[in-house]
């Protein structure tokens, strides 16, 4: 099979890279702090939006419980919201939000329906995410974090078929 190599045109490099003006190729402390300050400036908005997302998840769970026909739509909604929180949490200094949202997203990944037990597991995830937001838990290694992690793991394991590996194994 012929491999055809096409040299990069290098237009972008020619336009932007020079020896006089601009930023160094390595991120220095001052620039890092400026970038982090930009993120910091949006953190309050992120937390507000996350609370709204979690409220929306609670409402969706209520819909799934009262109207079984809505379960698939609710499942898609929760999956999307979990994905968003997974991607955002750590950016804004809340790695536990990312970890727990990932747990929720992973749990939902293979599902095509949301039975009562699965709704309960989702609900436990939502409650746990609430705790992280309301207590503004930015760490990952304290006793409260360990307790939250353990309760989630136990919940997820409860929904697994007998003989399956426990979460995190």
> Which residues form the interface with other proteins (CB under 8 A)?
1-10, 12-13, 15-25, 27, 31-32, 34-36, 38-39, 41-42, 45-46, 49, 80, 83-84, 86-92, 95, 98
Identify which of residues 16 and 69 has a Cβ nearer to other proteins in the complex: 16
CB of 14 to other proteins, least distance (A): 9
Distance CA 138, CA 169 (A): 25
Q: In whole angstroms, what separates CA 94 from the centre of its chain? A: 10
Place of tokens 């409402």: 59
CB of 2 to other proteins, least distance (A): 7
CB of 121 to other proteins, least distance (A): 20
Q: What is the DSSP code string of 87-152?
A: HHHGGGT-HHHHHHHHHHHHHHHT-SS--HHHHHHHHHHHHHHHHHHHTT---SSSHHHHHHHHHH
Identify which of residues 7 and 143 has a Cβ nearer to other proteins in the complex: 7
Identify which of residues 83 and 130 has a Cβ nearer to other proteins in the complex: 83
CB of 85 to other proteins, least distance (A): 9
Distance CA 39, CA 94 (A): 12
Identify which of residues 86 and 125 has a Cβ nearer to other proteins in the complex: 86
Identify which of residues 24 and 163 has a Cβ nearer to other proteins in the complex: 24
Q: Which of these, 44, 79, 84, lies nearest to 64 by C-alpha position?
A: 79
CB of 154 to other proteins, least distance (A): 24
């Amino acid at each position: 099979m012929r491999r055809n190599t096409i040299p990069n045109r290098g237009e972008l490099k020619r336009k932007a890279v020079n020896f006089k003006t601009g930023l160094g190729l390595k991120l220095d402390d001052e620039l890092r702090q400026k970038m982090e300050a930009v993120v910091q400036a949006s953190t309050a908005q992120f937390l507000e939006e996350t609370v709204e997302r979690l409220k929306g998840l609670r409402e969706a769970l209520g819909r799934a419980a009262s109207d079984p026909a809505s379960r698939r739509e609710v499942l898609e909604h929760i999956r999307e919201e979990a994905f968003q929180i997974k991607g955002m949490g750590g950016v804004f200094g809340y790695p536990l939000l990312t970890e727990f949202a990932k747990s929720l997203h992973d749990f939902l990944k293979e599902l095509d329906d949301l039975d009562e037990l699965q709704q309960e597991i989702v609900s436990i995830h939502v409650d746990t995410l609430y705790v992280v937001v309301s207590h503004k838990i930015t760490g990952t290694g304290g006793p409260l974090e360990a307790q939250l992690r353990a309760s989630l793991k136990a919940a997820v394991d409860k929904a697994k078929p007998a003989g399956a590996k426990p979460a995190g194994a």
